[in-house]
Structure 1
């Protein structure tokens, strides 16, 4: 006897209210195990694999790739084995439609249990779903028809998810999902459609045998922009049909020829602000709106800092057996982070935030240091926890771990939240200076430009030195220019004379 359980998108924690389906990891009819990831979703903070707490056969999936799903909306339904009623054959003995294996080969599991409890390890767990009614012997499993439908994703923010730019189905196809794989000319076209919320299953391609080309997706995006501005109804084809007389023998077709004397006007592309890019846009806008920021900057001679870094690396290479030579190669970013934590110990006003509801300045006892990292999915700010307790080796290792996780999209919400001060190394982009925007709700951000040889007066003589520009953007509500200038001057002094740090070790 089989019982169908519904698995919903669990609470992802950190105040997240939903996620976007990036990739389904299981198919309808496939047997899943307990805690097996069934879907990859993108939240406003990270990419997450969602594990299912049940074991059984997937009978239905809800939502297409690219659709936004709110927390609590159904993801899949699973037919699980339960105690038989009346001695009839168990539903688990039926053959799986996916691979021909018998469901009874999998370890038996009592559907009355509350699942594994590990719905989303590290992101909080949800309560076990309410028990569904039993299916009587001989009755088909609910939600498992021969051709399972893919329902439209639930509405989010008052509008159907992934509706922008979606073309209606062609006549004769209907509005449901198309069976089998969607014919797309390249993965680039599929990615372009997913990023812009287009449903490829409801498009008709202009290529051979309905192949969807890049031009079809771009046309659908332009049509979506026109409908958004003028309120027109969706078109029914990826390309409009223009009535024309049949071409004479030997004459080229004029189906797509522009009118004489006219030039096609290109339409603006629209890129949705969602996921990590949307969250950063909201935070930066809120920072500019709420925080009265000011910026001060100074040029510093970083020659001695670079020599100290090189000396550490040479010592490790020349003395591999020494206990002081172990660990990763020290990075300049780690040395700057160590300088920041020492400066924040002297100027704790900058390691704070403002609570406008209580009209209080909150000074944080620990330094959770964020650093800006540019990825293909946009700008992210991973956070190094308790940076004030770490040495240069520990900071180097943690920077490397978080940077790799940012590039692969495996950062967790805990890695992206809770920062108290941010270090922004925009020198990697080849620029000398900037006026950073504070990462709300923090109170300050230190920007570091590129380190390049420049003319510099050193010990009374003109010399070529390694010079860097440092800029500090701070919340003027937490301190005045004297405090900010003192912080920045201390940082510059440590950059010019790293031995100053020995006083605080």
Structure 2
């Protein structure tokens, strides 16, 4: 069929902005029909199961149509915006009959530039299935199985005579094997003695049980809710992905949690000193920075805690790098971006990375790449005034450290009860990878550094 189509209109499809994502929700449109757009201009913001991402358009032209409203969840590969591209005229376009996805040609990319941020969306594969090679099977033989079935009038249809030599026929008769049911392996479809023996050794096919029609289930009653007394929020996006990941982690990895209460008075004094240091000016200096550094030092002393469990390969993967995750609560839910190769960073560099990570997360601009590949995580529940908790492992990681609120408490110091700044740390770990001894050593090292921060100099 041939129809008249405006060849100047380009359809921009919802791309896969992460790894293997299948859908995204359109949060906000930055353009409307009639607006002029340029290559690389951000046209909308979408939320995937991992983060909110801005999508740039890869065309120059005028917006013709927005196919979906804000708040709509769209499958990856679905056109979301139509743009009338300048410099192209209208022309009749042949509309081919629908074909399998594997036989549809892939849309060519624009020449002379690279795709921006997330490319041009999902394109159909251009791969075609090769025709099978081999001798053709005569129609008479190929239809033998069909001819052996009952016809529509309840009588047995005529079937062709199987090809076999007289000794083979006698063997089949002696063994009680119907040659029509034997799969031939000889040349030109001839049944061999081995085929007959194989058919005789095969178990008899089980008769299909007669299944009575299932009773018609009564129609489910329509459930109504009092919208004045309750609000229902759809589970989607980051919150849905987080819930799925946490359930999978909790019921896959055997969790163990250990606790330690520690005097961090000297750590807080060091924080104040670092704020006055010229090299740390303009950086975010807080207890979390030193806690992160203490955990990195503990991992350096006990590298086996920085590992993952590969169920498919049945292997323990020891990581020689630390991608340090920091759990961040955002309006869209909990996300865990990570600092890549945190073990290589100096204290000022770590402070800068932490500041950028927190700011980006609060603004909802964390990219999917920043949340992939984490190896160990810190969650700071103390900012909510909570003493501590039993954190659930981030999927694919062996340990997570929870930091509780730092409070002034009575504490025995140098033989006397004095008011000291005290906090409680909780380390959860995957007991398949980390036994009690290793987990205890890691947690004890973190506590020792926070109690005596000078250990950072000697242990780092």
* TM-score normalised over the length of structure 2: 0.70
Are 2:52 and 1:25 aligned?
Answer: no
Match of residue 419 from structure 1: 374
Runs of 4 or more off by more than 6 Å in structure 1? 127-130
Are 2:225 and 1:230 aligned?
Answer: no
Shift in Å, 1:117: 5.3
| Among candidates 300, 310, 321, match of residue 262 of structure 2 | 300
Query: 1:19–1:70: 8 Å Cα contact kept in structure 2?
Result: yes
Whole-Å separation in 2 of the counterparts to 1:269 and 1:84: 51
Whole-Å separation in 2 of the counterparts to 1:310 and 1:15: 45
Query: 1:9–1:73: 8 Å Cα contact kept in structure 2?
Result: yes
Distance 1:359 1:6, change over 3 A: same
The number of residue pairs the alignment matches comes to: 347
Query: 1:117–1:125: 8 Å Cα contact kept in structure 2?
Result: no
Distance 1:18 1:112, change over 3 A: closer
The CA RMSD measured in Å over matched residues stands at: 2.8
Distance 1:459 1:125, change over 3 A: farther
Distance 1:432 1:229, change over 3 A: farther
3-state SS of paired residue (2:251): helix
Q: Deviations along 1:335-391, whole A, 9 cap, x unmatched?
A: 111100110111222211111111111111100000111111111111111111112
Query: 1:13–1:124: 8 Å Cα contact kept in structure 2?
Result: no
Are 2:388 and 1:388 aligned?
Answer: no
Distance 1:308 1:82, change over 3 A: closer
Query: 2:280–2:348: 8 Å Cα contact kept in structure 1?
Result: no
Distance 1:63 1:493, change over 3 A: same
Match of residue 54 from structure 1: 59
Query: 2:58–2:120: 8 Å Cα contact kept in structure 1?
Result: no
Whole-Å separation in 1 of the counterparts to 2:327 and 2:90: 60
Alignment of 1:83-482 (within 5 A): 114=110, 119-121=115-117, 123-124=118-119, 126=121, 230-231=221-222, 268-314=230-276, 316=277, 320=278, 324=279, 326=281, 328-482=283-437
Distance 1:469 1:286, change over 3 A: same
Range 453-462 or range 265-274, more displaced: 265-274
3-state SS of paired residue (1:66): coil
Whole-Å separation in 1 of the counterparts to 2:350 and 2:445: 20
Match of residue 16 from structure 2: 11
Whole-Å separation in 1 of the counterparts to 2:394 and 2:90: 60
Structure (1 or 2) with the larger CA radius of gyration: 2
Shift in Å, 1:280: 0.8
Whole-Å separation in 2 of the counterparts to 1:129 and 1:81: 25
Whole-Å separation in 2 of the counterparts to 1:31 and 1:327: 40
Q: Which runs of 5+ in 2 are unaligned?
A: 1-5, 92-106, 126-218
Shift in Å, 1:31: 2.2
Shift in Å, 1:85: 8.9
Are 2:451 and 1:496 aligned?
Answer: yes
Distance 1:370 1:467, change over 3 A: same
Query: 1:35–1:54: 8 Å Cα contact kept in structure 2?
Result: yes
Q: Deviations along 1:416-437, whole A, 9 cap, x unmatched?
A: 1111000111100001121111
Whole-Å separation in 2 of the counterparts to 1:124 and 1:7: 10
Query: 2:12–2:120: 8 Å Cα contact kept in structure 1?
Result: no
Distance 1:59 1:488, change over 3 A: same
Whole-Å separation in 2 of the counterparts to 1:461 and 1:490: 25
Query: 2:267–2:450: 8 Å Cα contact kept in structure 1?
Result: yes
Q: Which runs of 5+ in 1 are unaligned?
A: 87-110, 131-227, 235-263
Distance 1:231 1:302, change over 3 A: same
3-state SS of paired residue (1:23): strand
3-state SS of paired residue (1:453): strand
Distance 1:330 1:440, change over 3 A: same
Shift in Å, 1:46: 1.8
Shift in Å, 1:13: 3.0
3-state SS of paired residue (1:65): coil
Whole-Å separation in 2 of the counterparts to 1:308 and 1:461: 23
Query: 1:330–1:392: 8 Å Cα contact kept in structure 2?
Result: no
Shift in Å, 1:83: 5.8
Query: 2:259–2:426: 8 Å Cα contact kept in structure 1?
Result: yes
| Among candidates 67, 70, 76, match of residue 81 of structure 2 | 76
Q: Deviations along 1:12-59, whole A, 9 cap, x unmatched?
A: 232222210111222222222222222221111222221111122222
Distance 1:84 1:362, change over 3 A: closer
Whole-Å separation in 1 of the counterparts to 2:275 and 2:109: 56
Match of residue 202 from structure 2: none
